[in-house]
Amino acid sequence: MAAGSAVDWREGLDAGDLSSEALVRGGLDRIRRLDGQLHAVLASDEDQSLQLARQADARLRSGERTPVLGLPIVLKDNLHWSGLQVSCGSRILDGYRAPYNATVVERLLAAGAVPIAKANLDEFAMGSSGEYSAFEATRNPWNLDLVPGGSSSGSVVAVAGGYAPLALGSDTGGSVRLPASFCNVTALRPTYGVLSRYGLTAMASSLDQVGPIAASAADIALALGVMAGLDPRDSTSVKLPGVDRLDQLHPGNLRGLRIGLPREYFGEGIETGVQNLLDAAIQVFKDHGALIQEVSLPHTRYAIDTYYLICTSEVSSNLSRFDGVRFGQRTAGGTLPEMIAQSRNQGLGAEVKRRILLGAFCLSKGYYDAFYMKALKARTLITQDFNQAFEQVDVLATPVSPGTAFPFGAKTDDPMAMYLADVFTVTAPLAGIPCLCMPVGLSSGLPVGLQLIGPALSDVMLLETAHAFQSIIQHHLATPPLPA
């Protein structure tokens, strides 16, 4: 059984027309049949998933109802699900199993959701294409010769490929939004702090956020409402206003909605087919009463440099824990420093090493002020740009990527070209504000996404706006050419 809408399955489960066990068995069967081609899954525990599904069915029969009770979900393999592996797509964590649940996983389990698999990813979530997993690279279900986007490649492909109606990824600089654009699904990067990072393996702590993925904004709302909330184990967690509107998401009112188009995002370099679809989507908003105006985010030109200086610096600090001493792979060496060096050399991939070295350089004596501190100042200016823009408009609409999915190997030899794939997605994380990717059609048979960006804690409004669009134009219902 291919995954359908989470909202539709929710209604079927509540009415007794569907069972969680049947849905979970269908998802597991689809993984067995398709994942030899797609490589979206790194691990699963079928017995535990089926046991959780039976428990969910018993809760449903007793009359209990929650937004996600009985729904299958896939988890990115940098999130802790107790008892299962947490590989982060890396060899250095071979053999490591989660001793506890991440907060978001804990809350989903308490509400009766049923995890069915751990999803593939770029190693330690470092990548824009899905090519940097230490295991088999995930394939784009729309064209197996093209990248799915990264780093949450497996989570997005699990939804696009029909394994489950919901998935969790993580987004540091675009890691749920870019693959969502390439694979025709909807993905949300919440306001920083809305979803607890406890149990999410840290990459760049001031930028990382858990991101829900589904076919539609209404589906995402079901999971977000369950997961959001203060967490004493994450000092950066914040309360999300309007959570009560997520259980049954209603379309937002587009009439009078002020939508800003940042001039810095609509210049040269965007593929013609992508630009045409973005223009058509913006016209839909306009035809339904939205007010469209140009705005400026003048410090956008510094965003890529700022993001990668901050990100690599935090990566260098966070990944120092993976040393072969406490957990994961250990390579024999004559002395402790030799053992640590050999463990890291054999356990970490080239892109991870590159970012660790860049970050160590940025933080080194004599360069800290010139690079890292200057990047923090630029981050403040980028945040101020957004604050000023939101004094004029309610939401921003931008591209997610300059183009559609590209072939494997097209950018791996040029790290800068790969980093520039994030040019439209890194700015909002620097400001800690929510952003969403939703499908707006196909260009030469390949999906294209539109990004909506809102002010801090406007997550519910963003979902309502996307839901209004998806109630009018249903590009999100297009599915890739895979077996039924």
Residues in the chain: 484
Question: Is the distance from CB of 418 to CB of 412 less than 8 angstroms?
Answer: yes
Beta carbons within 10 angstroms of residue 481's beta carbon: 8
Q: What is the pLDDT of residues 301-313, one digit of tens each?
A: 999 999 999 999 9
Question: Is the Cα dihedral 380, 125, 141, 101 positive or negative?
Answer: negative
151 upstream amide cis, omega within 30 of 0:
yes
Sheet arrangement for strand 72-76: 41-43, 114-119, 72-76, 166-171, 209-214, 186-189, 435-443, 446-453, 395-399, 258-262, 291-295
The catalytic residue among 151, 152, 343, 401 is 151
The catalytic residue among 20, 44, 170, 175 is 175
Reduce the secondary structure of the chain to three states and give it as a string: CCCCCHHHHHHHHHHCCCCHHHHHHHHHHHHHHHHHHHCCEEECCHHHHHHHHHHHHHHHHCCCCCCCCCCEEEEECCECCCCCECCCCCHHHCCCECCCCCHHHHHHHHCCCEEEEEECCCHHHCCCCCCCCCCCCCCECCECCECCCCCCHHHHHHHHCCCCCEEEEEECCCCCHHHHHHHCCEEEECCCCCCCCCCECCCCCCCCEEEEEECCHHHHHHHHHHHCCCCCCCCCCCCCCCHHHCCCCCCCCCCCCEEEEEHHHCCCCCCHHHHHHHHHHHHHHHHCCCEEEEECCHHHHHHHHHHHHHHHHHHHHHHHHCCCCCCCCCCCCCCHHHHHHHHHHHHCCHHHHHHHHHHHHHHCCCCHHHHHHHHHHHHHHHHHHHHHHCCCCCEEEEECCCCCCCECCCCCCCHHHHHHHHCCCCHHHHHCCCEEEEEEEEECCEEEEEEEECCCCCHHHHHHHHHHHHHHCCHHHCCCCCCC
Question: Is the distance from CB of 349 to CB of 90 less than 8 angstroms?
Answer: yes
User: Which amino acid, 16?
Assistant: G
Q: What is the pLDDT of residues 189-241, one digit of tens each?
A: 999 999 999 999 999 999 999 999 999 999 999 999 999 999 999 999 999 99
Phi first, then psi: give them for residue 280, nearest 5 degrees. Answer: -65, -40
* pLDDT above 50: residue 100: yes
Percent of the chain with pLDDT over 70: 99
Q: Is 151 annotated in the active site?
A: yes
If pLDDT is split at 50, 70 and 90, which confidence band does 412 have?
A: confident
Q: Is 286 annotated in the active site?
A: no
- pLDDT (average), residues 150-160: 98
Q: Would residue 446 be called left, alpha or beta, if left means φ above 0 and alpha means ψ between -120 and 50 degrees?
A: beta
pLDDT of residue 311: 97
- pLDDT (average), residues 11-40: 98
pLDDT of residue 421: 81
pLDDT of residue 484: 60
State the Cα–Cα distance between residues 72 and 77, nearest whole angstrom: 16
CATH number of the structural domain 6-251:
3.90.1300.10
Residue extents of the structural domains in the chain: 6-251
Q: What is the pLDDT of residues 33-63, one digit of tens each?
A: 999 999 999 999 999 999 999 999 999 999 9
Question: Is the distance from CB of 211 to CB of 189 less than 8 angstroms?
Answer: yes
The catalytic residue among 20, 44, 76, 458 is 76
pLDDT of residue 225: 98
Q: How far is CA 329 from CA 85, 100, 149, 292, 317, in A?
A: 13, 20, 28, 54, 19
Taking each helix axis as running N to C, give the angle between helix 350-363 and helix 303-318, from 0 to 180 degrees, rounded to the nearest 10: 100
- pLDDT (average), residues 293-301: 97
Q: Is 90 annotated in the active site?
A: no
Q: What is the pLDDT of residues 253-263, one digit of tens each?
A: 999 999 999 99
pLDDT of residue 2: 62
Percent of the chain with pLDDT over 90: 91
Question: Would you state the structure tokens that stand for residue 295, as one six-digit string?
Answer: 């705005």
* pLDDT above 80: residue 156: yes
Q: What is the pLDDT of residues 59-93, one digit of tens each?
A: 999 999 999 999 999 999 999 999 999 999 999 99
Mean of the per-residue pLDDT values of the chain: 96
Q: How far is CA 239 from CA 169, 222, 230, 279, in A?
A: 21, 17, 6, 35
State the Cα–Cα distance between residues 340 and 351, nearest whole angstrom: 18
Question: Would you state the structure tokens that stand for residue 443, as one six-digit string?
Answer: 């260009």
Q: What is the pLDDT of residues 125-134, one digit of tens each?
A: 999 999 999 9
Q: What is the pLDDT of residues 450-464, one digit of tens each?
A: 999 999 999 999 999
Question: Is the distance from CB of 41 to CB of 155 less than 8 angstroms?
Answer: no
